[in-house]
Homo-oligomer: A and B are copies of this chain.
Amino acid sequence: MTNFSAFMIGAPHSGSGKTLLTLGIMAALGRRGLKVQPFKCGPDFIDPTLHEMVVGLPSRNLDLFMMGGSVCREVFAKHCRGCDVAVVEGVMGLFDGSEASTAALARLLNIPVVLIVDARSAAESIAALIKGFEVFDPELQLSGVILNQVGSERHVQLISDSMATNCRSRLLGTFPRESGFCMPERHLGLHMGDEHPLTEDQRA
């Protein structure tokens, strides 16, 4: 476990693309030969089925409200044993849910947060949003940002230039506006892994 690493995937709000990019990141890490342990913040029972579909291992729920801090820590430590990397998918917006928020869980587990930011409909203003998530909770390690739904190289450039001047978190990657990657949504969530929400192509 010397090279073990773990991080939380959060977002400013629901619908930013957390689940889709979490699945992509888990798949990419797996393809590099790393043993990935998936986790989901909160009581969600849908996203873990998607994690399992991609990783091949059951995803574990970590819910601060129902399990409390010490049980969350125990479950996290237990399932990280023997793995190379733990990827925890957050729930809702990063600070939503106050004491049981994604941010609170990241602080408890002492893991950094990668923020998935829906970059549609704004450019330099995206850096202002990121800045807000950086300074809102000084105890939180917001280490990197992935821009989702970027429109063009120029769009990325405007945001990354503004981030370089104004933000401390690194731009880790971008994901294009691409309707082929859209996951169908329904009330309070997505579809279960065994309901075939993703084609073979999308999972590749």
Tell me if A92 is interfacial: C-beta within 8 Å of chain B: yes
Q: Chain B interface: which of A8-16, A55-63, A71-79? A: A8-16
* Distance between Cα atoms of A202 and B42 in the complex (Å): 40
Minimum Cβ distance to chain B for residue A179 (Å): 16
Residue in B120, B124, B132 whose CB lies within 8 Å of A96:
B124
What number of copies of this chain does the assembly contain?
2
Known: A128-B12, A129-B12, A129-B129. A121 touches B93 (CB 8 A): yes
Minimum Cβ distance to chain B for residue A147 (Å): 13
* Distance between Cα atoms of A125 and B70 in the complex (Å): 25
Residues of B within 8 A of A14 (CB): 121-122
* Distance between Cα atoms of A15 and B120 in the complex (Å): 10
